[in-house]
Amino acid sequence: MPTPPRQIRFVVALPSEAKPINRHFGLIRDNAAMEYSLYRNRGVALVITGIGCEVSERATRWLHQKLPEPAVWINVGIAGHSHQPLGAALLASEIVHQSSGRRWRTVLPARPPCGSAPLITCAAPETEYLHSALYDMEAAGFYTAASAIAPPHRIHCVKIVSDNPQNPVHGINREIITRLMNDQLHLLERLSNSVT
């Protein structure tokens, strides 16, 4: 009896974040999906949510309704950091929703493929970087939805540093984002294979 394909769900905010992942995993646009851009191939699927906490939460729930099989859930994308260099990949060790103060302690893999850091989800791009943490705009929404779908050890947020005090957020463009993501595809492969 053939082994069923491994179920992996990628949740990203931007098409420029999705492009390298789609190419690497051979994901093809599902034209029947109307509400969000959905790409899939065998057990792997990716949804592009748009920017923001609420849309990330809604799209994560929508993806689960569309593909309800138990899966590994990975939110991946760019983030700011107070001092990490551009291109550094980090797993979120804790997620804080800045507006509400709600927080989640994540469960890291037994053998994580990279370092980790706290992550703060903000309503707008961060420019002051006051804490030694990652800053994004989606993870808290993703985690709210994913934690109702999957056990904590199967939910991960991977962020690639795209801005810091020396390289401000307004300097980011689509080409930079795609390049940063492209450089960490090996890490996504290792992470998706390491979670049981």
Whole-number percent of the chain with pLDDT over 90: 94
79 in Cβ contact with 92 (< 8 Å): no
Rounded distance between C-alpha atoms, residue 78 and residue 181, angstroms: 8
Give pLDDT tens digits for 144-155: 999 999 999 999
CATH of 8-194, one of 3.30.70.1900, 3.40.50.1580, 3.40.50.620, 3.40.50.720: 3.40.50.1580
Interval 158-187 mean pLDDT: 97
- pTM of the complete model: 0.96
Alpha helices in 4-161 (DSSP H): 15-25, 53-66, 139-146
What pLDDT does 196 receive?
67
What pLDDT does 194 receive?
83
Local confidence band at 1 (pLDDT 50, 70, 90 cut-offs): very low
Please report, for the chain, the start and end positions of each structural domain, with discontinuous segments joined by +. 8-194
Token code pair at residue 121: 């989800």
Using the predicted structure, report yes or no on whether residue 112 has a pLDDT greater than 80: yes
Burial pattern 55-67, b for ≥16 Cβ within 10 A else e, equals: bbbbbbbbbbebb
What pLDDT does 2 receive?
45
Interval 27-55 mean pLDDT: 97
CA distances (Å), 128 to each of 25, 82, 131, 164, in order? Answer: 36, 8, 9, 9
What pLDDT does 4 receive?
57
Whole-number percent of the chain with pLDDT over 70: 97
What pLDDT does 5 receive?
65
Interval 152-162 mean pLDDT: 97
